[in-house]
């Protein structure tokens, strides 16, 4: 067995395939005789010294992670501040790492997680502690810089496109005497990637979704209502997909709930679909239905993209390889090498090029009228939702997901009081 321990942790909102990445990490580490601990509930578990020994899990259980949604070890929304502001917490992390001989730290998350891994790597260097920190990409928002796409996005995009397609058929069937407008809210605070994926549900101007609202384009209420009215007059009904983070020209979130900030300092949003539905009903008089898929869009492992699952496994495997090679403060990323046929490979990026950078949906991917996607966007998005990777089903008709034992490692340090 290699000298030292690898610590893996999941952070931020989980996805349908983050456990596939965990499966890739643990399987690759086992193949290289490296012990893997996992922190419970993200970085909080590391601070609290709440660690689990993954060697207590069977090989079958680790394989089953690849088709199980959620976060097997627990995740958290907990943002460490700068080293100067949060030095005590960073030093506590190093104490925990030293106590358990952690020489490789893999943090599986998005922008904030990449930032945390980067800061931990710098503090370890300052203290002369031999630690290799690797960021492992994950987000359904697809807003990580450098990487062509991000594990988690492809499956959420597939769920979005399929759900909009199916709901549109329902609305079309009932539109003569019932619902005229259907509003679907997609996740995406500042970047419209997931809302854009709904555009794959149809191709022509009369096929749903008829209108997509992007955070990258200012929301003009009067124009939006005019567009809805025009579509209903032409098609008989209108399907709208709105990103949760759409803003007015002055930068105000349309769905700002006034509920303050979350733990990452983000504005709490209150539901853009219900707002838009109310406006359509009040101003145009149409019967409206709206939906907020919320966690469903990121947890739907039964509808995962095969491409996404393969990429999630690949970044997990590569993260271990990077770590054991001492490639500190880096992240494995996905590099697209061809569109037709779609091909990709694993590349790398320094964490300081990923941390705190946000990849917006490109202007060239948005239709000229601002309410749909271009052919260029379709060429980018389509390969990411291709292929099916259904989980195995039990006799009861329910997917056979795995629950790990998560055997705790004995604590060696005083209780953390932070």
Residue-wise pLDDT tens digits, 321-343: 999 999 999 999 999 999 999 99
CB atoms inside a 10 Å sphere around CB 248: 13
The pLDDT of residue 78 is above 80: yes
Residue 119 has φ and ψ, to the nearest 5°, of -65, -40
Res. 10: pLDDT tops 80: yes
Query: Looking at the chain, which residues constitute the CATH 3.40.50.450 domain(s)?
Result: 5-151+302-358
Q: What is the DSSP string of 250-295?
A: TS-BTTEEEEEE-TTSPEEE--HHHHHHHHHHHHH---EEEE--TT
pLDDT bucket at 268, cuts 50 / 70 / 90: very low
* Dihedrals phi, psi of 57, to nearest 5 degrees: -90, 145
Number of helical (H) and strand (E) elements in the chain, helices listed first: 12, 13
Q: What is the mean pLDDT of residues 174-179?
A: 96
For helices 153-174 and 306-324, give the axis angle rounded to 10 degrees.
160
Structure tokens at 137: 């990409």
Distance from C-alpha of 56 to C-alpha of 37, rounded to nearest angstrom: 10
Query: Average pLDDT, whole number, for the chain?
Result: 94
H helices present in 211-295, as ranges? 221-235, 272-284
What's the mean pLDDT in 365-389?
Answer: 97
Rounded Cα distance between 379 and 340, Å, is: 9
Report yes or no: 251 and 216 within 8 Å, Cβ to Cβ.
no
* pLDDT-based confidence at residue 1 (cuts at 50, 70, 90): low
Residue 183: HSE in the Cβ half-sphere, 13 Å Cα cutoff: 25
- Catalytic residue set: 141
Q: Which pair of structure tokens corresponds to residue 127?
A: 């203290």
Asked if the model's pLDDT at residue 262 lies above 70, the reply is: no
**Nearest-angstrom CA–CA distance, 178 and 36:** 56
The DSSP 8-state label assigned to residue 305 in this structure reads B
Q: Compute the distance between CA of residue 332 and CA of residue 317 in angstroms, rounded to an integer.
A: 9
The verdict on pTM exceeding 0.85 is: yes
Q: How confident is the model over 402-410, as a mean pLDDT?
A: 98
| Residue 79 pLDDT class (50, 70, 90 cuts) | confident
Q: Look at residue 304 in the predicted model and tell me its pLDDT.
A: 98
Q: What is the CA radius of gyration of the chain?
A: 22
The pLDDT score that the predictor gives to residue 261 is 47
Give the pLDDT of residue 356: 87
Domain 5-151+302-358 grouped into CATH 3.30.530.20: no
pLDDT average, residue stretch 296-318: 98
Q: How confident is the model at residue 3 (pLDDT cuts 50, 70, 90)?
A: confident
The whole-angstrom separation of Cα 334 and Cα 345 is 6
Share above pLDDT 90 across residues of the chain, in percent, rounded to a whole number = 90
Distance in angstroms between the alpha carbons of the first and the last residue of the chain = 34
Contacts of 328 (CB under 8 A, 6+ apart): 121, 131, 132, 133, 134
Q: How far apart are CA 318 and CA 302, in angstroms?
A: 25
Reported as a pLDDT band with limits 50, 70 and 90, residue 256 is confident
- pLDDT-based confidence at 401, cuts 50/70/90? very high
Q: Is the pLDDT at 259 greater than 70, yes or no?
A: no
Whether 43 and 74 have beta carbons less than 8 Å apart is answered as no
**123-176 residue pLDDT tens:** 999 999 999 999 999 999 999 999 999 999 999 999 999 999 999 999 999 999
The CA-atom distances, in angstroms, between 413 and each of 7, 48, 288, 311 are: 17, 9, 57, 37
pLDDT at 17 exceeding the cut of 80: yes
Q: How far apart are CA 63 and CA 27, in angstroms?
A: 8
Enter the tokens of residue 146.
């450098």
Q: In the predicted model, what is the mean pLDDT of residues 196-224?
A: 96
Nearest Cα to Cα of residue 305 among 155, 149, 142, 137: 155
- The CATH T-level fold of domain 154-299 is Rossmann fold (3.40.50)
Residue extent(s) of CATH 3.40.50.460 domains in the chain:
154-299
b/e map 52-74, b = 16+ CB within 10 Å: bbbeebeeebbebbbbbbbbbbb
**Helical H segments across 59-152, by residue range:** 59-65, 87-99, 111-127
pLDDT > 70: percent of the chain: 96
């Amino acid at each position: 067995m290699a000298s030292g321990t690898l610590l893996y942790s999941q952070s931020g909102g989980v996805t349908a395939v983050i456990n596939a990445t965990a499966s890739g990490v643990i399987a690759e580490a086992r193949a290289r005789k490296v012990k893997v601990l996992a922190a419970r509930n993200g970085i909080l578990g590391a601070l609290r010294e709440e660690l689990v020994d993954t060697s207590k899990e069977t090989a079958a259980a680790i394989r089953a992670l690849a088709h199980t949604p959620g976060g097997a070890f627990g995740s958290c929304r907990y943002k460490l501040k700068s080293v100067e502001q949060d030095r005590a917490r960073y030093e506590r992390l190093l104490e925990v790492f030293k106590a358990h001989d952690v020489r490789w730290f893999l943090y599986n998350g998005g922008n904030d997680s990449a930032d945390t891994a980067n800061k931990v790597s710098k503090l370890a260097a300052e203290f002369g502690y031999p630690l290799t920190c690797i960021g492992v990409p994950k987000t359904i928002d697809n807003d990580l810089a450098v990487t062509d796409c991000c594990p988690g996005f492809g499956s959420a995009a597939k769920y979005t496109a399929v759900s909009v397609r199916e709901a549109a058929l329902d609305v079309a069937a009932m539109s003569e005497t019932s619902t005229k407008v259907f509003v679907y809210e997609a996740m995406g605070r500042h970047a419209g990637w997931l809302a854009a994926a709904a555009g794959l549900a149809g191709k022509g101007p009369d096929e749903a979704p008829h209108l997509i609202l992007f955070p990258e384009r200012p929301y003009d209420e009067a124009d939006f209502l005019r567009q809805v009215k025009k579509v209903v007059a032409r098609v008989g009904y209108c399907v709208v997909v709105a990103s949760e983070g759409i803003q007015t020209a002055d930068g105000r979130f349309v769905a700002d709930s006034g509920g303050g900030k979350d733990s990452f300092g983000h504005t709490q949003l209150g539901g853009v679909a219900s707002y838009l539905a109310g406006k359509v009903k009040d101003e145009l008089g149409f019967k409206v239905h709206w939906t907020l898929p919320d966690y469903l869009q990121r947890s739907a492992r039964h509808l995962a993209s095969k491409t996404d699952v393969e990429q999630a496994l690949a970044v997990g495997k590569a993260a271990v390889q990077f770590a054991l090679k001492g490639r500190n403060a880096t992240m494995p990323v996905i590099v697209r090498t061809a569109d037709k046929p779609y091909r990709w490979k694993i590349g790398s990026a320094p964490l300081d090029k990923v941390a705190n950078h946000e990849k917006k949906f490109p202007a060239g991917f948005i239709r000229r009228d601002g309410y749909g996607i271009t052919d260029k966007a379709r060429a980018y998005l389509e390969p990411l939702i291709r292929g099916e990777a259904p989980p195995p089903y039990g006799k009861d008709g329910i997917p056979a997901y795995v629950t790990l034992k998560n055997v705790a490692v004995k604590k060696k340090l005083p209780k953390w009081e932070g």
